[in-house]
Amino acid sequence: MKRRDFIKNASIGAVTTGSVVAPAIVSADTKIKWKMVTTWPKNFPVLGTGANQLADLITEMTDGRIKVKVYGAGELVPAFEVFDAVSRGTAQMGHGAAYYWKGKIEEAQFFSTVPFGMNAQEMTSWLYYGGGLELWRETYEPFGVIPAAAGNTTVQMAGWFNKEINSTKDLKGLKMRIPGLGGEVLKRAGGTPVNLPGGELFTSLKSGAIDATEWVGPYNDLAFGLHKAAKYYYYPGWHEPGTTLEAIINKKSFEALPADLKSIVDNACKIVNQNMTMEYVAKNNTALDTLINKHKVDVRKLPDDVLSKLKELSNDVVSELASKNKAAQKIYDSYNKFYKQVSAWNEISEKIYFNIR
């Protein structure tokens, strides 16, 4: 039965031009073809190239026994249909971020990032060693999808502004592109959050259609030329303090794999999770240097009272999300418990060290 399932699934996974070629036996010669759909434009710096790296790693490490072909957003399915495509088995894998599926699974947002929540190192630790990944798997289980952490943007920037932010009053009426939970927080502070795809940010900011936008961090922001469209570059990215990116795998396709290939897929995700995090750290600091020293960008910190207000509102928004359903509460409780403990430890380790070095 198991073998028959495997053959069936392997043939579903095969990219065919005309006829379906099912492997006759499960052996080291078996060639499995997987499609990976992504929420990123093809080859998008770090995010899209990280997805490419994941595909290449799986292909290389399995010596071609699994061949993964990557599709950019819109090539096979639109960005926001990646989850459904993997759930249906149209694609065997996907790469994106959990908060994109909030319309379907609101509590999934906890697995990407939470305003004023954990940073990259803390999130990854919660997922791998604090029970986070088990909860994530439980959350996607009804959809036949297995998630894995596969990248992290690290702390983002607050964004590009054409209006100075000197007090909480300046948030009132501020028209800003800021999606997700951060957008809800801005709304409660009196601002107007708008959601625009990345490709429209530059023009909207330049034309004055929006007063501000967040995007990612110095590396991606510089590539978009946002410094040519706004006067001030504010930090820190309170709304996305360490966004986890995800790889999602069709459960049937994964379960049909022999143990060695399962291990490779699992570990390739871990490698990419770490690599992408380090790539952001390395590239953001050189890009920040370019923005400041070459383009003379005015980099500013959001005032303390503005950050306090945003934090207070974030706590409301996040607790409300937790109270939406039982599953959300369970995830929030686990997240929060880990967050409190790791914060107490980081207070006397990473944080103090940052301050004294």
Per-state percent for the chain, helix, strand, coil, to nearest 5: 55, 15, 35
Contact (CB, 8 A) for 196 and 177: yes
Q: Residue 159 CB, nearest distance to Ca ion (Å)?
A: 8
Site track for Ca ion across 243-282, x = CB under 5 A: ----------------------------------------
Which residue's entry shows tokens 């929420």?
A: 39
One-letter amino acid for residue 42 of the chain: K
Q: Residue 216 CB, nearest distance to Ca ion (Å)?
A: 5
Q: Please, which residue, 107 or 214, has the CB nearer to Ca ion?
A: 214
Q: Please, which residue, 76 or 216, has the CB nearer to Ca ion?
A: 216
For residue 356, give both structure tokens.
Answer: 């004294």
Q: Residue 113 CB, nearest distance to Ca ion (Å)?
A: 9
Contact (CB, 8 A) for 94 and 254: no
Site track for Ca ion across 147-186, x = CB under 5 A: ----------------------------------------
Q: Residue 46 CB, nearest distance to Ca ion (Å)?
A: 13
Q: Please, which residue, 213 or 273, has the CB nearer to Ca ion?
A: 213
Q: In what order do the strands lie in the sheet with 192-194?
A: 192-194, 175-177, 212-213, 159-161, 232-235, 298-301
Count other C-beta atoms under 10 Å from residue 337's C-beta: 13
Q: Please, which residue, 76 or 222, has the CB nearer to Ca ion?
A: 222
Q: Residue 317 CB, nearest distance to Ca ion (Å)?
A: 16
Task: Tell me the pairing of strands 298-301 and 66-71.
Answer: unpaired
Task: Tell me the pairing of strands 145-152 and 93-96.
Answer: unpaired
Q: Residue 247 CB, nearest distance to Ca ion (Å)?
A: 19
Closest CA to 240 of 298, 180, 174: 180
Site track for Ca ion across 84-113, x = CB under 5 A: ------------------------------
Residues 187-246 that bind Ca ion (CB under 5 A): 214, 240
| Separation CA 264–CA 271 (nearest Å) | 10
Q: Please, which residue, 81 or 240, has the CB nearer to Ca ion?
A: 240
| Separation CA 54–CA 89 (nearest Å) | 19
Q: Please, which residue, 170 or 214, has the CB nearer to Ca ion?
A: 214
Binding site for Ca ion (CB under 5 A): 214, 240
